[in-house]
């Protein structure tokens, strides 16, 4: 029985269009949602900041180019319909090469192992195409059934998608850094402060960006311990850090605090103290300074400096203080007074708290941490309940292990 040429052509057309739609959807979503920030960073670095990358336009252009590349490859190879999806291999290879970028690649442009992997895969692809065409000429497919033709193509295409998505191996925190940086550049500080907020992993760079985003919203001291703090005051600002691929630099953060840092200043604490002694300082500088003291657990200096910047008046009502300061004052208070909401330190009442929920939480913390005899159990279980408080940070952060410690 002869095969209907029209039906064969129709089946081949459906396979081509369906594979094309799947490939373009995958490529666009992969570039726009997962790898867009990485490509934006790469373009910034390699163009030395001259050009910028638009996530939507970039994903659209790259997707179109890779689809055109596939069409050219198909015309050159003329693969039979049941092997049509195999012509997407060079496009998938290009997509993988384009997105396989890490910190080392950004600092020192190199193709790495791709210098031999790329030509090897292309050679193997050419050999495979020749073998497919050779054996297909001896054993041509007599079927024009759509299912029997489509399933092999979809399996090949999905396998290529899995490989393309699995090869780039950057950790989540690196993507968090890049996304947070982009959102800050777009002045969406609230969204920037929520990137990766449920993860216990962090980096000094990610922590600095988060704190900068909080400071832009006036929430640094309020939400300071909503995030893992593994790096002390360097998680706020590290004057000595300079990387060429940062779109938001240490100097940008310093400008937010009042003035850029001179080359002679190499210590973050020195920079903050110089700023506080200068008329250029602002409320953000004050919070950076006080929060840096809390993070480094310099409690004597915190108690000495705090009254200069936050004067509560005769009533000593501390309910309106940012949360980190309220928690620090209550923690440093005389224990019995603290349980009643009074920050009594060295015989002086620095603040009085009337928020019953806040006082009850402090009581619960003290009771809860005394329930566990095993140190590891105490650290981890108190972290689950009170890990977002300065109380836990002050008492246990230096003892934490595993995910609760610096990654």
Q: What is the pLDDT of residues 228-284, one digit of tens each?
A: 999 999 999 999 887 777 999 999 999 999 999 988 888 888 999 999 998 888 999
Nearest one of 224, 231, 216, 139 to 184, comparing CA atoms: 216
**Does some domain include residue 305?**
no
Residue 117 lies inside a defined structural domain of this protein:
yes
For the record, the structure tokens of 125 come out as 């692809």
Same domain assignment for residues 20 and 142: yes
58, 207: one domain: no
In a domain, 49, yes or no: yes
pLDDT reported for residue 405: 46
Q: Is residue 303 part of a domain?
A: no
Domain boundary among 112, 135, 169: 169
Distance CA 164, CA 246 (A): 27
Record the pTM.
0.91
Q: What does the alpha-carbon distance between residue 65 and residue 205 come to, in Å, rounded to a whole number?
A: 34
- The rounded distance, in Å, linking the Cα atoms of 166 and 170 is 10
Alpha carbon distance, N-terminus to C-terminus of the chain: 67
Compute φ and ψ for 389, nearest 5 degrees.
-120, 155
CB of 284 within 8 A of CB of 268? no
**The dihedral of CA 370, 374, 379, 383: what is its sign?**
negative
Burial class (CB in 10 A: 0-12, 13-18, 19+), 91: buried
| Residue 406 belongs to domain spanning | 311-407
SS3 296: coil
| Same domain assignment for residues 12 and 136 | yes
What's the CA gap between 289 and 287, in Å, rounded?
A: 5
Give Cβ neighbours of residue 22 (< 8 Å, ≥ 6 apart): 154, 157
Claim to verify: residue 44 and residue 135 sit in the same structural domain: yes
152 and 37 in a single domain? The answer is yes
Q: Are residues 186 and 260 in the same domain?
A: yes
Helix, strand or coil, per DSSP, at residue 177: helix
Looking from the CA of 197 toward its CB, the CA atoms found within 13 Å total 15
Same domain, 106 and 119: yes
* Segments of the chain with pLDDT less than 70: 1-8, 137-145, 401-407
Tell me: do 218 and 176 sit in the same domain.
yes
Confirm whether 206 is domain-assigned: yes
Are 162 and 178 found together in one domain?
no
How far, in Å, CA of 282 to CA of 289, rounded? 11
What contacts 76, CB < 8 A, 6 or more positions away? Answer: none
Is residue 275, in this structure, part of any structural domain at all? yes
Q: Domain ends where: 169, 193, 215?
A: 169
pLDDT of residue 112: 82
* Whether residue 30 is found in the same domain as residue 102: yes
Is there a domain that residue 47 lies in? yes
Q: Which residues contact 268 (CB under 8 A, 6 or more apart)?
A: 233, 234, 236, 237, 238, 239, 292
Provide the H-helix boundaries in 79-229. Answer: 89-99, 103-107, 114-138, 146-166, 172-185, 189-193, 204-216, 220-223
pLDDT for position 375 = 87
The answer to whether 403 touches 201, Cβ cutoff 8 Å, is: yes
d(CA 352, CA 62): 60
Looking at the domain assignment, is residue 203 inside a domain?
A: yes
Taking alpha carbons only, the member of 390, 404, 381 closest to residue 329 is 390
Predicted confidence at residue 312, as pLDDT, reads 86
CA distance 384 to 296: 22
| Residue 12 Cα distances to 132, 150, 156, 162, 224, angstroms | 17, 9, 16, 24, 59
Angle at 277 between CA 274 and CA 279, to 5 degrees: 110
Answer yes or no: do 23 and 149 share one domain: yes
Burial of 57 (0-12, 13-18, 19+ CB in 10 A): exposed
Domain ends where: 169, 195, 220? 169
Are 156 and 15 members of one domain?
Answer: yes
Instruction: Tell me the C-alpha to C-alpha distance, in Å, between residue 361 and each of 364, 368, 380, 396.
Output: 5, 10, 18, 17
Question: Contact 321/356 with Cβ under 8 angstroms?
Answer: no
Q: What is the number of structural domains in the chain?
A: 3
User: What is the per-residue pLDDT for 11?
Assistant: 80
Sign for the CA dihedral angle at 340, 342, 344, 347 comes to negative
Q: Are the beta carbons of 357 and 331 closer than 8 angstroms? A: no
Q: How does DSSP classify residue 317?
A: B
Q: 334 CB contacts (<8 Å, ≥6 apart)?
A: 344, 345
Backbone angles phi, psi at 231, to 5 degrees: -120, 15
Q: Which tokens sit at 10? A: 């129709």
pLDDT per residue as tens digits for the range 95-146: 999 999 988 888 888 888 899 999 999 999 999 999 998 887 665 555 556 7
């Amino acid at each position: 029985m002869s095969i209907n040429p029209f039906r064969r052509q129709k089946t081949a057309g459906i396979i081509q269009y369906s594979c094309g739609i799947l490939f373009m959807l995958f490529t666009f979503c992969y570039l726009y949602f997962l790898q867009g920030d990485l490509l934006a960073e790469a373009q910034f670095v390699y163009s030395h900041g001259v050009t910028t990358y638009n996530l939507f336009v970039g994903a659209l252009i790259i997707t179109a180019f890779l689809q055109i590349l596939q069409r050219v490859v198909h015309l050159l190879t003329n693969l039979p319909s049941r092997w049509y999806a195999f012509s997407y291999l060079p496009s998938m290879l290009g997509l993988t090469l384009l997105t396989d970028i890490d910190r080392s690649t950004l600092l020192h442009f190199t193709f790495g192992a791709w210098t031999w992997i790329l030509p090897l895969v292309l050679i193997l692809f050419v050999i495979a195409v020749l073998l497919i065409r050779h054996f297909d000429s001896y054993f041509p497919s007599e079927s024009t059934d759509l299912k029997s033709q489509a399933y092999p193509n979809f399996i090949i295409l999905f396998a290529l998608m899995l490989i393309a998505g699995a090869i780039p191996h950057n950790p989540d925190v690196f993507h968090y850094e890049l996304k947070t940086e982009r959102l800050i550049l777009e002045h969406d500080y609230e969204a920037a402060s929520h990137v990766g907020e449920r993860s216990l992993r962090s980096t000094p760079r990610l922590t600095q960006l988060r704190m900068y985003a909080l400071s832009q919203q006036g929430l640094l001291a309020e939400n300071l311990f909503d995030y893992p703090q593994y790096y002390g005051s360097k998680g706020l600002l590290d004057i000595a850090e300079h990387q060429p691929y940062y779109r938001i630099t240490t100097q940008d953060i310093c400008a937010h605090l009042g003035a850029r840092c001179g080359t002679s200043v190499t210590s973050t604490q020195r920079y903050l103290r110089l700023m506080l002694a200068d008329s250029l300082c602002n409320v953000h500088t004050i919070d950076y300074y006080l929060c840096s003291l809390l993070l480094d657990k310099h409690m004597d200096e915190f108690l000495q400096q705090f009254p200069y910047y936050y004067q509560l008046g005769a009533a000593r009502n501390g309910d309106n203080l940012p949360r980190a300061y309220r928690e620090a004052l209550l923690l440093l208070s005389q224990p019995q007074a603290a349980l009643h909401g009074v920050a009594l330190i060295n015989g002086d009442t620095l603040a009085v708290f009337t928020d019953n929920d806040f006082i009850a939480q402090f009581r619960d913390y003290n009771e809860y941490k005394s329930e566990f005899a095993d140190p590891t159990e105490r650290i981890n279980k108190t972290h689950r309940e009170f890990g977002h408080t300065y109380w836990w940070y002050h008492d246990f952060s230096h003892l934490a292990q595993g995910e609760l410690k610096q990654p």
